[in-house]
Structure 1
Amino acid sequence: MSSSDSAHQITVQPSGRSFSVPAGQTILAAAIAAGIGLPYGCKDGACGSCKCKKISGNVTHGAHQQKALSDAEEAAGYILTCCARADSEVHIEARQVTDESSYPIRKLPVRVAALQRRSHDVMQVRLQLPAVDNFRYHAGQYLEFILKDGARRAYSMANAPHLLQPGAPAVDLHIRHMPGGRFTDHVFSALKEKDILRIEGPFGSFYLREDSDKPIILLASGTGFAPIKALLERLQHLGSTRPVSLYWGGRRPGDLYLDEWVRSFQAQLPQLRYVPVVSDALPEDGWAGRTGFVHQAVLDDCADLSGHQVYACGAPVVVDAARSSYIQQRSLPEEEFYADAFTSEADKHAG
C-alpha cells in the first residue's frame, strides 16, 4: 500500500492541534469533519481563503486556479487545504484555528417560507428551519443547497442568529439571478412558497472577531451585503461601540437593494458610517453620491489601515483588489483582512 493510500496526520501550528486525513480526502474536508476551524471560503480552489504555509510534509494538489495559488506560491511552500491531499505526515501554519467557534455541520430539509423581490435581479428567500434541529451558525457564515444530482450552491445567511425565532427559526438569503444559471433560473422562475429544499451548513470562517476593539471597515459588493448585514446585526446585539464604516458598491443605485434598511439601522448602531458607491450610474438614476469602484473609495478615505480590521465580501475581483491594495498601500495587517469571495460556478471553473 502506498503512502497516498493510508491516513496521515496533520498538525496545525501555532495551536498544536492535530487531526487525521483519510486517503482520498482533502485536508480541509478532514479538518471540518474533526471540528478544526481552519480558514476557508469557496472549498473549490477558486478564492484562496484557505491558503496556508506548509512547514513540512508532502501534499498533492487537485485542480485549482492560479489566482488562488500561483506556481510561485506553491514552490514557496504554500498550499490550498481545500484541494490538497496529504501524501505524508504534514505540518501546516494556519491562523483562526478555534475550538469554541465551530458549530456542528448539519444536513437538513428546509421549507421556503417567503420569496421577496429586493430588486430586479435579487430575491430574498426565507427558509424555515426544522424547529427541533437547533441549527446554529455565526453571523457571516454560509449554507449550501444540495441539489438532486449532488451539485451544491452556496449562499450566506443574511440575518444574525440571535434573530431566529424560537419555535419557528428561519434564515434569509439574498440570491442574485445569474441568467442561464441552473439554480438561480429556478429560483426566479419556478421556486414557490412551501417548496422543500435540502441544505448543509454552516460553513466558512467569515465571522466577526469579537475579541478586538479595532475600528471595522465592512466592504460589500452587490449581494455580498448579505453576510455584512448579519455582521451589523451582531455588532448591535453585542452593544459594540467599535467604529464601523460600511462601504457598499453596485453598478447602479438599484443594486444597493437594502439601502433604506441600512439608513434606518444607523439609529440602532449610531457609530455606523455608511458610504454607498455606484460605478455605472446612468443620467436617469439621478445619482449624487460616491462613484467609482467601492474598494477604491476606502483607499480615498483612509490613509492608514494599520489599526483596523476589514471584512470584505462580494465579487472575487473586488475582494482581491481590496486585499492587495489595503495590505500593500495602507499597511493593513494581513491577518486583519477577513473575506468571503462570492465565487459563482463560472468563477470556480475559470481557467
Structure 2
Amino acid sequence: MAYTVKLEPSGKQFEVAPGQTILDAAMHHGINLPYGCRNGACGDCKGKLVAGQVDYGQYQPTAMSEEERAQGAALFCQAQPQSDLVIEAYEIDDAKKTEVRRLPCRVHDARKLTHDIMEVRLKLPSAERLQFLAGQYIEVILKDGRRRAFSIANSPLHDDFLTLHIRYVPSGEFTEHVFTGLKPKEIWNFEGPLGNFYLRDSDRPAILVAGGTGLGPIKAMLETAFEEGLERDFHLFFGVRARRDLYLTETLDQWQAEHPNFRWTPALSDPGEEDADWSGETGYIHEVIPRYYDDLSGHEGYLAGPPPMVEAASEALQQLGLDKDRLFSDAFTYSVE
C-alpha cells in the first residue's frame, strides 16, 4: 500500500508507492530534496525520521553511522516507508531545479584519457537538448533495467554532446563493453540530469577536490565558470595514485595560464618507480590541502571522487574552518555487475 510522508518544516505531503524510496517519490512529486549518488554511499540525502517506520535499505557505513541511525537519521535515497511518516529535511532552491528526463542518445565517439579512463561523447536526437547544471550526472539505463551513473564532464553552455569520463572496472560488464566493444552510433538510453552537485552562486573562494574521474564534474564547473566570467578564486586539488592516472593536465595548465583566479595542485598518493622524477606533491589529497591553507573559514568546498576520499577531504576542510553547510560533494561508487 502507499504511505503518506509529511515533510518538515515546509509541511508538504506526498505519497510513496510500494517499492519506492522516499527520495524517488519526492522527486516525482516535484519536491527537490538534496541527494548525490542515490545508492547509499555519499550521505547527501541524509535527513531525520521524526515519526513512523522505514526499511533503511542498503547503504555504506561511511554514509550513515549506527549512532546517527539511532538518533533518527535515514538515507532517503534508500529508505522505504513501512508506515505513514513525518520526516525533516531541507529543500533545494527551486531556482536551481532542472527537469529529469528519459532520453535516447547515440555514441558519437570515444577516446582513452588514461590507461583506465575512457571519454565517451553522446549525441542526443537533433531536436533535443538536455538542460543541466555543471556538476550533475546522468544514469545510463542498461537493457535489463540496471543503471550506471556518470557525471557530465562538459559545460551546459556547450550541450551539442554530453561528455562522460568512464573508469574501467575489472570484471565490470558495462565498462568492459565500453573499453573493448563500444561502437559509434550505438544507442544508449539515460535518465537525467540528477544530483545537487553544482556550483553555488557565491563570491567565496572555492576549494575543489577531485579524485580520479571526479575531475569530470569539477571540469564542467570550471569550464562554465570561466565562460561566464566569474571572478571568484578557484583552487583545484587533483589526487591520483600515480602520474599515469593524471589526465587533462594540458587543459588545466592552460586554464591556469589564462585565468589569474585559478590554480591547480596535483598529488600522487602511491607513486611508482616510473615517477622517480616527480617533483610535485605526494600523499593523499586530504593531507596535501593543509600544506597550502591554515584557515578556510571564508571558503566553499566542492568534492568529487571515491567515498573514502570525499569523507577524508570533507573532514580535513572542516578542521581548517570550512563551514559544513558550505561543503558540497559527489561520491562515486562502482558496480562490478
TM normalised by structure 2 equals 0.94
Distance 1:301 1:18 in 2: 47
- 1:205 aligns with 196
**How many matched pairs?**
336
Aligned ranges for residues 76-87 of structure 1 at < 5 Å?
Answer: 76-87=71-82
% same residue: 45
Match of 2:256 among 242, 260, 266: 266
1:63-110, Cα deviation, whole Å (9 max, x unpaired):
222222222111111110011123444343334522222211111111
The residue type paired with residue 184 of structure 1 is T
Q: 309, 320, 344: which is aligned to 2:334?
A: 344
Q: Give distance in 1, aligned partners of 2:4 and 2:330.
A: 29
- 2:95 aligns to what SS in structure 1? coil
| Structure-1 residue corresponding to 2:19 | 24
Q: Unpaired segments of 5 or more residues in structure 2?
A: none
Specify the alignment match of 1:67 in structure 2: 62
Distance 1:55 1:128, change over 3 A: same
Aligned with 2:224 (options 217, 234, 241) = 234
Q: What is the match of residue 53 of structure 1?
A: 48
1:31-73 CA-to-partner distances (Å, cap 9, x unmatched) read 1212222111221222212112234443331222222222211
Paired residue for 1:331?
321
Matched, 1:6 2:5: no
1:1-351 superposed matches below 5 A: 5-13=1-9, 15-164=10-159, 169-210=160-201, 212-285=202-275, 286-327=277-318, 329-345=319-335
CA distance in 2, matches of 1:20, 1:269: 49
Give unmatched runs, 5+ long, in structure 1.
none
Deviates more, 1:299-308 or 1:228-237: 299-308
SS of the residue 1:145 aligns to: strand
Range with greater deviation from structure 2 (184-193 or 331-340): 331-340
The answer to whether the Cα contact below 8 Å between 2:47 and 2:75 also exists between their aligned partners in 1 is: yes
Give 1:325 deviation, angstroms: 2.7
Q: Say whether the 8 Å CA contact 1:218–1:244 is kept in structure 2.
A: yes
Deviation per residue, 1:203-229 (Å, 9 max, x gap): 11111111x211100000111100000
Q: Is the 8 A contact 2:2 2:15 kept in 1?
A: no
Answer yes or no: is the 8 Å Cα contact 1:45–1:64 preserved in 2: yes
Scaled by the length of structure 1, the TM-score of the pair is 0.91
CA contact (8 A) 1:37 1:205 kept: no
RMSD (CA atoms): 1.8
The answer as to whether partners of 2:26 and 2:32 remain within 8 angstroms in 1 is: yes
Please tell me the residue identity of whatever aligns with 2:333.
T
